[in-house]
Amino acid sequence: MNGILPLYKERGMTSNDCVFKCRKIFKMRRIGHSGTLDPTVDGVLPICIGSATKVVNYLMDSGKIYTGEITLGFATTTEDLEGERVAQQDITTPFNAAEIAAAMNKLTGEMIQIPPLYSAIKVKGRRLYDYARAGDPVERPKRKIQVDYFKQVKPPVFDAEKKEQRLYFEVGCGKGTYIRTLAVDLGKKLGVPAVMSDLTRLASGGFTIGQAITLEQLHKAADDGTLSQYLVDADHALRKFPHHSLTSAQWKKVKNGGFLSEAELKDCFPAPQVVLMNSGRARCIYRLNLEKNRYQPEQMIDLAEGEH
Tell me, what CATH number does 77's domain have?
3.30.2350.10
For residue 213, the 8-state DSSP code is B
| Cα–Cα distance list, 255 to 59, 249, 261, 303 (Å) | 24, 10, 16, 6
Residue 305 forms part of a structural domain: no
**What angle, rounded to 10 degrees, do the helices at 97-105 and 179-190 form?**
120
For residues 170 and 138, what is the distance between their CA atoms, to the nearest angstrom? 31
CA distance 89 to 171: 25
Tell me how crowded residue 175 is: count the other CB atoms within 10 A of its CB: 17
Mind listing the pLDDT tens digit for each residue in 122-140?
Answer: 888 888 888 888 888 888 8
Full-model pTM: 0.90
Rounded to an integer, what distance in angstroms lies between the CA atom of residue 136 and that of residue 264?
56
pLDDT tens, residue by residue, 70-106 = 999 999 999 999 999 999 999 999 999 999 999 999 9
pLDDT at 307 over 50: no
- Domain with 262 in it: what CATH number? 2.30.130
Pair 133, 263 in one domain = no
pLDDT, one tens digit per residue, over 7-52 is 999 999 999 999 999 999 999 999 999 888 989 999 999 999 999 9
Range of the domain at 290: 241-300
Residue 306 reports pLDDT greater than 60 = no
**200 and 93 both lie in a single domain:** yes
Do 77 and 197 fall into the same domain? yes
- Domain shared by 229 and 283, yes or no: no
- 101 shares a domain with 179: yes
Of 192, 218, 236, the last residue of a domain is: 236
Number of domains in the chain: 3
CA distance 255 to 250: 9
**In-domain check, residue 105:** yes
101 and 181 share one domain:
yes
Is 308 inside any structural domain?
no
170/108 same-domain check = yes
157 and 118 together in one domain: yes
Would you call 148 a catalytic residue per the annotation? Answer: no
| 3-class state of residue 38 by DSSP | coil
Same domain? For 116 and 93 the reply is: yes
Contact criterion met (CB below 8 Å) for 78 and 194: no
**Do residues 55 and 301 touch, judged by C-beta distance below 8 A?**
yes
Residues near 305 by Cβ (< 8 Å), separated by ≥ 6? none
Q: Is residue 307 a part of any domain in this protein?
A: no
Q: Are 197 and 163 contained in the same domain?
A: yes
Residues 68 and 57 in one domain: no
Which one is catalytic: 17, 38, 90, 233? 38
Which of residues 219, 236, 253 is at a domain's end?
236
170 and 104 co-located in one domain: yes
